[in-house]
Structure 1
Amino acid sequence: MPAVLGKQVGPTGYGTMRMTWNPTPPSKETCFETLNTAIELGANLWNAGELYGTPEYNSCHLLQAYFEKYPQNADKVVLSIKGANLPGQLTPDGSEENIRRSVDECLRNLKGTKSIDIFECARQDPKTTVEQSVTILAKLVKEGKIKGIGLSEVDAETIRRAHKVHPIAAVEVELSLWSLDIFENGVATTCAELGIPVIAYSPLGRGALTGEIASLTDIPEGDFRRLVPKFQGSNFESNLKLIKEIVSLAKRKGVAPAQIALAWVRTLSNKPGLPTIIPIPGGTTKDKVTQNTQGVQTLTDEEMAEIDSILKGHEVKGTRY
């Protein structure tokens, strides 16, 4: 396993947290309380991004303020940052000029309070090859600006091509009980073969697997999820059947549905032929982080078999985007 991910934490393995964009962000005090809770509970792989916010204030600015106040925690955290989009946009730009701009901007915003352990282009720029992008990032590793290189939302062939240029520290892709693409498109098999950990974002199905969303009206106006096909009309009505089965299993086990969903992702790492898989659920309060990191950590063979049966009986409807 790459050195930047070689730090095992807590009694049950890897602790993780995703620091994504929030249209109504909590106060800085609440954020700091949440981050401190994450540290205490061993959730030390933090996933941030230049694109999570605006050029004027994003997750890098928040982290700078946090590590300035709690410098003793900087070395406890493995920090992964996504970037290399055009400033303030979601358009990828894999040119050397822009990748360097993005890394330098993130470092400038961190103000020396924390190093970048993993940097990944948020999406592969179709105008450049992955070999070009990774070659540029490899230069930044040699220059000491970043420690490792990650990939985000790439296919199996791209992973292989990138890994030939420079060892890849991690591959970040969507994975949850209602997003199983990596088992069908070769990404999981490829990462297992190359020894690359998978960072699983949206492991709670963008909140659906918490059991707290019963209809589209439960999602606030302006929320991105209202545009996601899985949450719409007959698709969501069908997908609710799977969610209800998970809620039922959680009740029988005496835990929260979210804990079942996360335990399922963690348990996948024990299956032959699969890579280490690390879920990165979001968490804006200490209570959410506590729920995501506590309780059931892995599932029994019988429980995994039951979930496999549920998945076979309830095909998820609708695309990811």
Structure 2
Amino acid sequence: MTMNNIGQSVLGSWGLEVPTIGLGCMGMTGFAGGSDLYGAADETVAISTIHRALELGCNLLDTADIYGPYLNEQLIARAINGKRSQYIIATKFGYEIDDEGQATWQINGTKQYVKKAVERSLRHLGTDYIDLYYLHRLDPKTPIEETVEAMADLIREGKVGYIGLSEVSSETIHRAHQIHPITAVQSEYSIFERSIETAGIIDTLQKLGIGLVAYSPLGRGYLTGNITKADDLSADDFRRHMPRFQGEQLEKNLVLVRKITAMATEKGITPSQLAIAWVLAKGHLPIPGTKRPEYLEQNIAATAIQLSGEDINRLESIIPLGTDLGDRYDAASMNNIDQ
């Protein structure tokens, strides 16, 4: 199959060509010590998923140094070996990792740490350049101007092609963009999570010509239709720590999921495909995560689905803006989000 099956577009206004849909790789590895994010991962299957993505034109891989730490970047290096130029690699830094490879879970956006982090990611990815380099979370102790200036230096040095931010406010985006053009902002966004709309962040991105990369477009798995009760999550699944997946809130959310699933069934598609088609209809780049080729193919097929205005209105009426779905992270992680 050719690279043109799912189409290409320019992300933001600065020239980075990307496929219509990307591949989130976080779930392909667990964390050191044995914790798997979304259940057990199989490296052979994960690598075959990355190879299948390339065959179907989905050549944008999204990762981060903190996933593992480093295990995810290293897996990608093995998968793309000999084919680096055919992939677009996006990775993130900011969660501090010490010299022993241990996560401190502090955010570090200092100039010195930017330079240290990029060298480690280049080494672990087995490449001499990163296509899109994001600040994973805002460092509240370091002015965003300092961080972005250091990231811009990496572009001038040829180590990074474009720069982005993740989970940041409109004010931070404006300040960063004055230092160097920001190509993309990555935020959680789905029919299940639209807080960046109510915060005015999407309006800011459109005004400045910055692309939105939507992670968790399947609502952390809610919109797959595979979660019907709390016991569907394994004991070490990190979603068990999210208020959105706990107790009475989970039951309320599943009522909404059943309505979305019913709508998808009427249209002869899966709820995942409906959710992805909605993000695409909004004009954004979804990066659903999967570690299995069959789900990848299902997700990519969603790029051919056209939703009418009536479809979009119906879907959004199931979960109107402002619906209380529960916090999407625990309290400590919510504090790291700049909104």
Matched pairs, number: 303
Among all aligned residue pairs of Structure 1 and Structure 2, give the percentage whose two residues are the same amino acid. Answer: 34
2:305 partner letter: Q
The answer to whether structure 1 residue 125 and structure 2 residue 135 are counterparts is: no
- Please give the residue correspondences for 1:1-321 in structure 2 after superposition, counting only pairs within 5 Å: 1-3=12-14, 5-7=16-18, 9=19, 14-21=20-27, 22=30, 23=36, 26-55=41-70, 58-68=71-81, 71-72=82-83, 74-87=84-97, 88-89=102-103, 90-112=105-127, 115-269=129-283, 277-295=284-302, 296-312=304-320, 315-321=323-329
| Distance in 2 (alpha carbons) for counterparts of 1:308 and 1:178 | 9
Aligned to 1:272: none
Is this contact kept in 1: 2:194–2:321, CA < 8 A? Answer: no
Cα displacement string for residues 261-300 of structure 1 (whole angstroms, at most 9, x for unaligned residues): 110111011xxxxxxx111110101001011111453311
Aligned to 1:118, what secondary structure does the other structure show?
strand
* Length-normalised TM-score, structure 1: 0.90
Is this contact kept in 1: 2:25–2:72, CA < 8 A? Answer: yes
| TM superposition outliers: structure 1 runs of 4+ over 6 Å | none
Gaps of 5+ in 2: 1-11, 31-35, 330-339
Give 1:25 deviation, angstroms.
5.2
Q: Report the aligned-residue RMSD.
A: 1.7
Cα displacement string for residues 216-269 of structure 1 (whole angstroms, at most 9, x for unaligned residues): 111111211111111112211111121111100111011111000110111011
| Distance in 1 (alpha carbons) for counterparts of 2:122 and 2:183 | 19
| Distance in 1 (alpha carbons) for counterparts of 2:138 and 2:311 | 37
Aligned to 1:274: none
Aligned to 1:86, what secondary structure does the other structure show?
strand
Aligned to 2:6: none
Is this contact kept in 2: 1:242–1:314, CA < 8 A? Answer: no
Gaps of 5+ in 1: 270-276
Give 1:316 deviation, angstroms.
3.5
Give 1:75 deviation, angstroms.
2.3
CA 1:54–1:152 in structure 2 vs 1: closer, same or farther (change >3 Å)?
A: same
Is this contact kept in 1: 2:198–2:321, CA < 8 A? Answer: no
* Length-normalised TM-score, structure 2: 0.85
2:306 partner letter: T
| Distance in 1 (alpha carbons) for counterparts of 2:314 and 2:124 | 47
| Distance in 2 (alpha carbons) for counterparts of 1:76 and 1:239 | 40
